[in-house]
Structure 1
Amino acid sequence: MKTLISVDMEGISGIVHPTETHPDRHDYERGRALMTAEANAVVAGVLDADPAAEVRVADAHGPYRNLLPEQLDRRARLVRGKPRPLGMLAGLDEHTDAVLLIGYHVRAGGGPGVMAHTMNGEILDVRVAGRSLGEIGLNAAMAGHLGVPVVLLSGDDAACAELADLVPLAATVAVKEALGMAAAVMPHPEETRGRLRRAAAEAVARYEDVPPLVLTGPLDVEVDLAGPHAVDLATLVPGVSRARGARTVAFTAQDYAAAYRLILLLAQLATIKPG
């Protein structure tokens, strides 16, 4: 078996505030330790189910350099750094059997959810074939394009509900109950890690029962951007045009992989500020 564990940070147990997720903030090192410990619990669960499994762990938060390599389970291979193909799903290919999304958060406009956003805070919404998708849906559909199911997600209760709506047969572990953007009720992190280990083992054992999320092309895509400067930059990309209102750009992709790549590019363009 070959698995990819994509690990974000906002949905990790114990984390509720940007000071715990940003490299320039005082609580970041503590957040990194919590993130790494939770990733290790999931690696252990996958290997409980299949000791011979090939396990890749993609660091999928911010700079993609958050997990502590020297503390990660040595049986896993770490995918680290950016830019890179497939972004949060780097390491995924058509030979992968299952994807596990750990520490994920609800999309912008969803929730209430802890640190709800889509990709980088500069994107207000992404609609693919009329359906609003955040990082959970965008990544699940990219895995599905390659025929790979998302079998497990962990995060707050809103994030779990978001995946359940898209992939009803996938397993979820709510590691905290969101009270708002920066507040939640949660169990002790060690209790959460035990639950994650058991859930990961159960999820990968039944991966063949979970259908991939497949969005067939051609696909009409709309992206709402926070800044008008980002809209100006986006329309420099061939095939991208202004749509309704002052914040929205649109394009048509022949398949989901092309849509995903262009959405990643627009997210990066949106971080460029006027000179």
Structure 2
Amino acid sequence: MKVLISVDMEGISGIVHPTETNPDRYDYERGRVLMTAEANAVIAGVFDAEPDAVVWVVDAHGPFRNILPEDLDRRAHLVRGKPRPLGMLAGLDEHTDAVMFIGYHARASAGPAVLAHTMSGDILDVRVAGRSLGEIGLNAAMAGHLDTPVVLLSGDDTACMEFSELVPSAVTVAVKQALGQAAAVALHPQEARERLRRAAADAITQRASIPPPKIAGPLDVEVDLYGPYMVDLAVLVPGVTRVGGGQTVAFHAADFADAYRLVQLLVQLATIKPG
């Protein structure tokens, strides 16, 4: 069986501040060590349950070059670098049997939630068929589009609740209790890793009873962008229109895969600043 583990950084135990997640800041190296160690705990749990599994670990934070390759469990394949198809889910295909979200965070405007945002600080909200979705919802629905269950999520308690609303039968591990955007009560990293290893094994064992999250097309999608100039760029994309004032664009997608890819493109366009 193939298991894809998508690992973000903001939801790792002990991490509460941008200095721990930004490659240009002083505390980033500690964040990388913590992130790699939690990924290893989950890999170990998968192999505890399925010794013959094929495990892909997807570095899914920022530059997608955070996990320390030399310290990662050698049994896993590491996906790193960008740009790449499907972004945080690179490697997901019809042969993937289960997906896990590790170190994930709540969507923009959620709270209290540690380092909550949606894709980037330039995206204020994404609504698919009227439902607000952050990275958890967008990635879960993309997996579901390929009939792949998301069986495990770890992060703060708010992220876990967000995921449980989408997939009530999946396993969650709250490695910290959010006090705010940059504050939490966190488990000791070793305790978090032990819980993650057990949870990963449990999630693999239970995967047949966890349904893939589905959002059927066709779909109407709205994206709220931080700056009006981002809207000016977005409407250059065929099919994207300006609605509701100066910060919202909308488009129609045949299915969730099309919606997911276009949201990814809008996220990238939003990083282009006026000259």
The alignment's TM-score, normalised by the length of structure 2, stands at: 1.00
1:240 and 2:230 equivalent?
no
Give, in angstroms, the shift of residue 33 of structure 1. Answer: 0.2
Give, in angstroms, the shift of residue 245 of structure 1. Answer: 2.0
Q: Distance in 1 between matches of 2:71 and 2:7?
A: 15
1:81-140: per-residue Cα shift (whole Å, max 9, x none)?
Answer: 000000000011011010000000000011210000000110000000000000000000
Q: Tell me, which stretches of 5 or more residues in structure 1 are unaligned?
A: none
Q: Distance in 2 between matches of 1:230 and 1:149?
A: 34
**Could you tell me which residue of structure 2 aligns to residue 253 of structure 1?**
253
**Could you tell me which residue of structure 2 aligns to residue 214 of structure 1?**
214
Q: Distance in 1 between matches of 2:23 and 2:30?
A: 11
1:189-234: per-residue Cα shift (whole Å, max 9, x none)?
Answer: 0000000000000001111100101111110000000011100000
Q: Distance in 2 between matches of 1:10 and 1:186?
A: 12
Q: Tell me, which stretches of 5 or more residues in structure 2 are unaligned?
A: none
Give SS of 1:151's match. strand
**Could you tell me which residue of structure 2 aligns to residue 90 of structure 1?**
90
Q: Distance in 1 between matches of 2:215 and 2:165?
A: 15
Give, in angstroms, the shift of residue 23 of structure 1. Answer: 0.3
Q: Distance in 2 between matches of 1:260 and 1:267?
A: 11
Q: Distance in 1 between matches of 2:212 and 2:187?
A: 31
Give, in angstroms, the shift of residue 271 of structure 1. Answer: 0.7
**Could you tell me which residue of structure 2 aligns to residue 32 of structure 1?**
32
1:265 and 2:269 equivalent?
no
Give SS of 2:100's match. strand
Q: Distance in 2 between matches of 1:187 and 1:233?
A: 43
Q: Distance in 1 between matches of 2:131 and 2:233?
A: 24
Structure 1 stretches of 4+ with a deviation exceeding 4 A read none
**Could you tell me which residue of structure 2 aligns to residue 111 of structure 1?**
111
The alignment's TM-score, normalised by the length of structure 1, stands at: 1.00
Q: Distance in 2 between matches of 1:118 and 1:200?
A: 25
1:80 and 2:41 equivalent?
no
Q: Distance in 1 between matches of 2:140 and 2:245?
A: 29
Q: Report the AA paired with residue 85 of structure 2.
A: P
Q: Report the AA paired with residue 234 of structure 1.
A: A
**Could you tell me which residue of structure 2 aligns to residue 132 of structure 1?**
132
1:123-161: per-residue Cα shift (whole Å, max 9, x none)?
Answer: 000000000000000000000000001000000000000
1:37-56: per-residue Cα shift (whole Å, max 9, x none)?
Answer: 00000000000000000000
Q: Report the AA paired with residue 268 of structure 1.
A: Q
Q: Distance in 1 between matches of 2:244 and 2:216?
A: 24
Q: Distance in 1 between matches of 2:204 and 2:90?
A: 19
Q: Report the AA paired with residue 118 of structure 1.
A: T
**Could you tell me which residue of structure 1 aligns to residue 189 of structure 2?**
189
**Could you tell me which residue of structure 1 aligns to residue 120 of structure 2?**
120
Q: Distance in 2 between matches of 1:171 and 1:244?
A: 38
Q: Distance in 2 between matches of 1:64 and 1:8?
A: 9
Give identity over the alignment, percent: 75
Give, in angstroms, the shift of residue 246 of structure 1. Answer: 1.1
Aligned length: 275
Give, in angstroms, the shift of residue 186 of structure 1. Answer: 1.1
Q: Report the AA paired with residue 212 of structure 1.
A: P
Aligned runs of 1:150-169 on 2, under 5 Å? 150-169=150-169
